[in-house]
Amino acid sequence: MATSQEQLTVERPVSPERAGTAPAPTPPVGLEAWRDAPPVLYSADEVSRRVRALAYEIAAERSDRPLTLAVVLRGAFVFAADLIRALIEIGVRDLTVEFLSVASYRGMASEGARPDVHYVNGVFPGDGRDVLVVEDIIDRGHTLEAIERALSSHCERFRVCALLDRPHLREVPTGPHYIGFTLDTDDFVVGYGLDLDGRYRELPYLGRLPAPPRS
Ligand code: IMP
Ligand code: MG
């Protein structure tokens, strides 16, 4: 049986510098590294191009007030990181970043129609600022409606940017101002931060799983 030291040696990739003349490590991992990798809905390249285009749309419409990005945990964390870097790259400044969490889905089934909004810092410093909510996906709309109710009256301008929008399943009259991709199927989307029961968040692309049964 291998000792824990041997296991570490075998499992850790070796950097070329430290390896001396050792053969180069295997090339960057591809989809084969993910067992049961879901089929691609949008590739990492397509997502990256779309995120940069969204940054331009947001920058073109921003006011001269400071902007707070309100990132909805946890599904939007990868999208938000890329969006922030894209905004900075095109010269947007005077940004702050806050985090919210909203109790919503477990597995593929909704937990309830009135989710609670929690501010990670306890309070949300939105007063007098423009707020841009950064969300992974707007589905039935209850999560966004709850965020809107909690935040919109506290800020100067309230906008929402969602990586994905599925308007045909909407149950309440709400929606994002900036949309990465509009979906017209019920497929469950994972990857690029979105999960199914904690799985697939680390996938570098957006994948799709069969649609959940809808109640
Ligand atoms: P809504 O309240 O029905 O709009 O639900 C929105 C929330 O449900 C999103 O913020 C996600 O966390 C989750 N959700 C809805 N559809 C999907 C999906 O296809 N993949 C991953 N999460 C989803
Ligand atoms: Mg979400």
What are 8-26's pLDDT values in tens digits? 334 445 454 555 555 544 4
197 is catalytic: no
- The string of pLDDT tens digits covering residues 38-84 is 999 999 999 999 999 999 999 999 999 999 999 999 999 999 999 99
Q: Which residue has the tokens 């947007």?
A: 92
Confidence category of residue 85, pLDDT binned at 50, 70, 90: very high
Looking at residues 184-198, what average pLDDT do you find? Answer: 95
- The answer, yes or no, to whether any atom of ligand 1 lies below 6 A from the CB of 104, is yes
Q: How far is the CA of 12 from the centre of ligand 2 (A)?
A: 33
Angle between helices 77-89 and 44-61 (to 10 degrees): 60
Coil/strand/helix, residue 70: strand
Strands, E, within the chain: which ranges?
40-42, 67-73, 95-102, 105-106, 109-110, 117-119, 130-138, 157-165, 178-182, 188-190, 206-209
Indicate whether 141 pLDDT > 90.
Answer: yes
Please tell me if the CB atom of residue 189 comes closer than 6 angstroms to any atom of ligand 1: yes
Quote the pTM value.
0.83
Q: Mind listing the domains of the chain with CATH numbers? A: 45-199 (3.40.50.2020)
CB atoms within 10 A of CB 192: 29
Q: Considering only CA atoms, which of 177, 181, 183, 111 is closest in space to residue 143?
A: 111
From the CA of 164, how far away is ligand 1's center (Å)? 9
Residue with CA nearest ligand 1 atom 15: 139
Report how far residue 155's alpha carbon sits from residue 59's, in angstroms, rounded to the nearest whole number: 18
Q: What single DSSP character describes residue 94?
A: S
Confidence label for 179 from pLDDT (cuts 50, 70 and 90) = very high
Provide the pLDDT for residue 120.
Answer: 85
